[in-house]
Amino acid sequence: MRGYAPASPDNKYPHRYLTMPTFKAPVRDINFVLNDVLNVGQLAEFERYADATPDIVEGVVDEAAKLIENQIAPLNQAGDTVGAQFKDGHVEMVDGFKEAFQAYAENGWMGLSADPEYGGQGLPFVLSKAVEDMLCAGNVAFALYPGLTQGCYEGLEANASDEIKATYLEKLANGEWAGTMCMTEPQAGSDVGAVKTKAEPQDDGSYLLNGGKIFISSGQHEMTPNIVHFVLARLPDSPPGVKGLTTFVVPRKLVNADGSVGDDNGVSCVSIEEKMGLHGSCTCTMQYDNARGWMVGKPNQGIQSMFVMMNKARIMVGMQGLGQCELATQTAIRYAQDRVQGKPLTGGDDVPIIAHPDVRRMLLTMKAITEGARVMAYETSLYEDISVASPDEAQREAASDWVELGTPLTKAFCTDAAVELGSLAIQVYGGHGYIKEHGVEQILRDSKILCLYEGTNGIQAMDLVRRKIKMKGGALPQRFFDKVEAELETYAGDAPEVADALRTALAALKDGTAWLQQQLKDDPDAAGAGAVPYQRAFALTWLGMNWLRMAAKAKVLPDDAFKQGKLATAKFFAAAILPEVGSLCSSIQRNASLTMDLPAEAFLAA
Ligand SMILES: Cc1cc2nc3c(=O)[nH]c(=O)nc-3n(C[C@H](O)[C@H](O)[C@H](O)COP(=O)(O)OP(=O)(O)OC[C@H]3O[C@@H](n4cnc5c(N)ncnc54)[C@H](O)[C@@H]3O)c2cc1C
C-alpha cells in the first residue's frame, strides 16, 4: 500500500502517509551475484551438481521469487500483529501460515539442496541460500519453520544411523513433517555444556528423556502431522560439561513401523514466549516426560554432532539477517522516492526526501552494506558446495577452510547489519517510521534476535578469534589475504578508487590479525576485548573485495540504472565505509588492555 491512506472505518489515521513494506525480490541482484560475481556455474562441472547450469539457477530464483512475493511476504504483517498464540495447550498459527508452509514444501523448496536419496532435489547449497535470502526478506518469522526443519534434517543427515535416516529424512526434506533444534535450557545458553536434560537407556535400544528446554523455535504447531526434535541431552554416566553431551531424535508423535504417525510421545509445549518481534514464529518452552528418543551419533559426542550442522545453521541465520537488510533497504528507498518534504540545499521547490544529501547517505550506506553482504553470504555458501563436491582434495580442503572462516563472519555481520539498517530505515521514515501502521519498525524488532540466537554475535567473535584465526597456524586468514591480493591484481584497473581503499584496509586487517594472534598467547583478555570490532573489520574488508569485484563486473553491463547503482555504490563504500577498518584495527590495539582495568563492582558505583 503506498500513498495517503483513504479514510475508512479501518483506517484510524487517514492523515498519515502510509507505505507498508511491499517486498519485491531482488532477482536481478541475486542473479548478478550468483552468475557474474561468483560464477556458480562452475559447480556444474562437478558430477554432484551437473544439473546446476546457469539457466536452471535463474529458473529456480524466478520461481521462488513468485511464491515468496505472492503468498509468503503478504503474511508478514499479520505474523507480527496477530502472532502465534498459545491456547488450550496448543500453538495456533497465524492464518495462512499453514497453507504457505505446504505450498513451500510441495513446490520442493524445503528440500532444494537435500540429498535426492532422501527426496531432495540435490541442487547446490548456495542456491538454497539465495532462495532463503528472498524468503527471509519476505517474511523472516515464517522462514524459521522451514529453516529449523532444514536444520534438523542436516543434524540427522550428518550423524544419524541409516535406520533413523530412513525414518525421518525424506519426510523432513519434503516438508511432510517439520523439525526443531533443541539445545537451550535456563542455565545453558551460550554454555551448552551446562545442559541437564537426562536420557536413560532402555532395553529396546531407545532412551527415555526427562527435563525441559526453553526458547525452542517451532517447538509446537499444527502445520504438520508430526514434528521431529533434534535434542541435546546427557546420559546418566556422562562426564560434566561439553564432553558429556549426546544428541537424540525425539518425535512429537511416535512413528509406526510402516512410517505412519502413531501415538503421542512424552514431549509437550507448556507455554510460548511474548517477544519483542518475530511474533509469527512460536518460541516454545518444551517439557520431556519420559519422551522416547533415539541416539544420534555416538555417546558423549553430541558437541561434535552439533558442530557438523552448526556451520549451516549459522549461515542460515546470516541469511535471515541479509533478508532483513534487503527489506529495510528497499523499503526505505521506496519511501524516500515518494515522501515530499523540504527544499533542496541548492534552492527550489519541495522535493522527495531522496534529494537530501543526508537521506542519500543513509540509503547508500544501506545499499552498500546489503549488496556487499550478499556476496559474502553467497560466497561462504558456494565454498560449502565446493568443499563437498570437488573431486580435488586440496580444493575441498581450501573450500572447507573458507567455510570455517566465513561462517561466523556471515552470521555476525549480516545480523548486526540488519539491526543497523532496520534502525536506518526508521530514520529515513522520520517519525512515521516509529508508528506501527507503517510496518517499518517491525524490521528492527524482528532483527534483534538474529544477533542473539544460534550463538550470540559475541560468541561468533570468540569463534573467529580464538579458533579460526589460529587454526592451522593462521592458514585461514592467510587464504583470505591471498584471495584479496589476487582479486586486486585482477580488478584494480577497473575500479582504482575501490582498489586503493581496499589495499589500505587489507594492510590494517593484517596488522590487527597479527596483533590478535600474538595476544592469544600473551594476553587472552586483550584478544577477547578486541574480538567484536575485529570481526566487523574483517567483514568490511571482505565487503571491500566484493565491491571491487562488483564494480569490475558491472562495468561491462549495458548502461542502465542497475549498472549506475553498482558503480556509484562501490565508490561510496570505498570512500565512506571501508576506511572504518583502519580505525577498528588500531583501536583494538590501543583499547583492549583498558577493558579489563575497571573492577566489576565499580561499573555501577553509587
Ligand atoms: C526468539 C528465540 C528463539 C530461539 N530459538 C532457539 C532454538 O530454536 N533452539 C535453541 O536451542 N535455542 C534457541 N534460542 C536460544 C538462543 O540460542 C540463546 O538465547 C542464545 O544462545 C544465548 O543464550 P542466553 O540467552 O542464555 O545468553 P547468555 O549465554 O547468558 O549470554 C549473555 C551475554 O553474555 C555473553 N557471553 C556469554 N558467554 C560468553 C563467553 N564465553 N564469552 C563472551 N561472551 C559471552 C553473550 O554474548 C551475551 O552477550 C532462541 C532464543 C530466542 C530468544
Residue whose CA is closest, atom 6 of ligand 1? 216
Pick the atom of ligand 1 nearest to 281's CA.
1
Does one domain contain both 68 and 115?
Answer: yes
In a shared domain, residues 109 and 237? no
Q: What single DSSP character describes residue 185? A: B
Q: Whole-model pTM?
A: 0.96
Q: Which of 144, 196, 197, 215 to mutate to test the pocket of ligand 1 (most atoms within 8 A of CB)?
A: 215
Per-residue pLDDT tens for 481-511?
A: 999 999 999 999 999 999 999 999 999 999 9
Distance 137 CA to ligand 1 centre (A): 23
157 and 184 part of one domain: no
Q: Is the separation of the CB atoms in 268 and 284 below 8 Å? A: no
- 184 and 148 fall within a common domain: no
Q: Is 393 labeled as catalytic in the residue annotation?
A: no
Same domain, 92 and 117: yes
Residues with CB under 6 A from ligand 1: 181-184, 189-190, 215-217, 275, 278, 283, 449, 452-454, 456, 458-459, 462
Beta strands 253-255 and 90-92 are unpaired
Residue 143 CA to residue 137 CA, distance in Å, equals 9
Q: Determine the Cα–Cα distance for residues 127 and 453; give it in Å rounded to an integer.
A: 24
The answer to the question of residue 207 being in a domain is yes
Of the three residues 145, 168, 191, the one that is the final residue of a domain is 168
- Cα 571 to middle of ligand 1, angstroms: 37
Q: Specify whether 114 is located in the same domain as 189.
A: no
Q: Which of residues 304, 325, 356 is at a domain's end?
A: 304
Cα 134 to averaged position of ligand 1 atoms, centre (Å): 26
Atom of ligand 1 nearest to the CA of 217: 8
The predicted pLDDT at position 428 comes to: 98
Angle, CA 332 vertex, CA 83 and CA 3 arms, to 5°:
85
> Is 72 part of any domain?
yes
Give me the domain span that covers residue 587.
Answer: 456-595
Query: Which residues, 6+ apart, have CB-to-CB distance to 115 below 8 Å?
Result: 122, 157, 169, 173
Q: CATH code at 224? A: 2.40.110.20
Q: Whose CA is nearest to atom 29 of ligand 1?
A: 190
- The per-residue pLDDT for 310 is 83
Q: Is 273 exposed, middle or buried (0-12, 13-18, 19+ CB in 10 A)?
A: middle
> Which domain-ending residue is among 147, 168, 189?
168
Note whether residue 393 is domain-resident: no
Question: Does residue 150 share a domain with residue 186?
Answer: no
Nearest residue (CA) to ligand 1, atom 20? 453
Among candidate residues 540, 550, 576, the one with its CA nearest the CA of residue 495:
550
**Residue 324 belongs to a domain:** no
Q: Read off the CATH number of the domain in which 130 is found.
A: 1.10.540.10
- CA neighbor of 247 nearest in space, from 286, 208, 287, 303: 303
- Which atom of ligand 1 has the smallest separation from the CA of 458? 47
Q: What is the DSSP string of 222-233?
A: SSSS-EEEEEEE
What atom of ligand 1 comes closest to residue 148's alpha carbon?
8
Does the residue 392 lie in any domain? Answer: no
CA distances from 437 to 208, 345, 406 (A): 48, 31, 37
Q: Measured between alpha carbons, how far is 251 from 32 in angstroms, rounded to an integer?
A: 41
Atom index in ligand 1 nearest the CA of residue 180 equals 8
Residue nearest to atom 37 of ligand 1 (CA): 190
Kindly state whether residues 460 and 590 are assigned to the same domain: yes
For cell 544501506, what's the residue? 366
Separation of alpha carbons 260 and 246, rounded Å: 27
182 Cα: distance to centroid of ligand 1 (angstroms): 13
Out of 132, 454, 580, 601, the active site residue is 454
Please, where are the H alpha helices in 6-139? 27-31, 54-67, 76-81, 97-106, 125-138
Measured distance CA(324)–CA(424) in Å, rounded: 12
pLDDT in tens, 233-288: 999 999 999 999 999 999 999 999 999 999 999 999 999 999 999 999 999 999 99
Q: How far is the centre of ligand 1, averaged over its atoms, from the C-alpha of 195 (Å)? A: 13
The answer to the question of residue 583 being in a domain is yes
Of 119, 114, 125, 147, the residue nearest 52 (C-alpha): 125
| Nearest-CA residue for atom 7 of ligand 1 | 216
The reply to whether 462 and 591 lie within a common domain is yes
Mutate-to-test residue for ligand 1 from 150, 228, 456, 463, highest number of ligand atoms within 8 A of CB: 456
Ligand 1 atom closest to Cα of residue 461? 43
Query: What is the per-residue pLDDT for 336?
Result: 98
How many other C-beta atoms are found inside a 10 Å radius of the C-beta of residue 478?
Answer: 15
Q: How far is the CA of 52 from the centre of ligand 1 (A)?
A: 37
Is 601 exposed, middle or buried (CB count within 10 Å of its CB: 0-12, 13-18, 19+)?
exposed
Q: In whole angstroms, what is the distance from residue 307 CA to residue 311 CA? A: 7
Place of cell 523499503: 331
Residue nearest ligand 1's atom 31 by CA: 190
Following CA atoms 312, 316, 318, 322 in sequence, which dihedral angle do they give, to the nearest 10 degrees?
Answer: 140
Nearest to 421 by CA among 356, 360, 355, 370: 370
186 CA distance to ligand 1 middle (Å): 10
Task: Tell me the CA end-to-end span of the chain in Å, nearest whole number.
Answer: 51
Domain shared by 120 and 188, yes or no: no
Q: How many whole angstroms from 314 Cα to the centroid of ligand 1?
A: 13
Nearest one of 578, 586, 581 to 544, comparing CA atoms = 578
Give nearest CA residue, ligand 1 atom 23: 189
Cα–Cα distances in Å, from 23 out to 75, 137, 328? 11, 7, 10
Using CA positions, which residue lies closest to atom 26 of ligand 1?
Answer: 189
- Distance in angstroms (rounded) separating the CA atoms of residues 414 and 373: 6
Rounded distance between C-alpha atoms, residue 171 and residue 181, angstroms:
16
SS3 557: coil
Regions of the chain short of the pLDDT cut 70: 1-20
Question: Is 157 a member of any domain?
Answer: yes
Half-sphere exposure of 48 (CA within 13 A, CB side): 17
Do 586 and 466 fall within a single domain? yes
Atom of ligand 1 nearest to the CA of 219: 8
CA dihedral 238, 310, 514, 402 (to 10 degrees): 140
Ligand 1 center to residue 190 CA distance, Å?
5
Looking at the structure of the chain, the number of domains it has is 3
Q: Which pLDDT does position 606 carry in this prediction?
A: 73
Q: By alpha-carbon position, which residue is closest to atom 4 of ligand 1?
A: 215
| Torsion sign across C-alpha atoms 26, 27, 29, 34 | positive
Pair 232, 153 in one domain: no
Contact between residue 344 and residue 356 where contact means Cβ atoms under 8 Å apart: yes
If you write DSSP's letter for every residue of 94-107 in order, what string do you get? PTTHHHHHHHHHHT
Say if 230 falls within a structural domain: yes
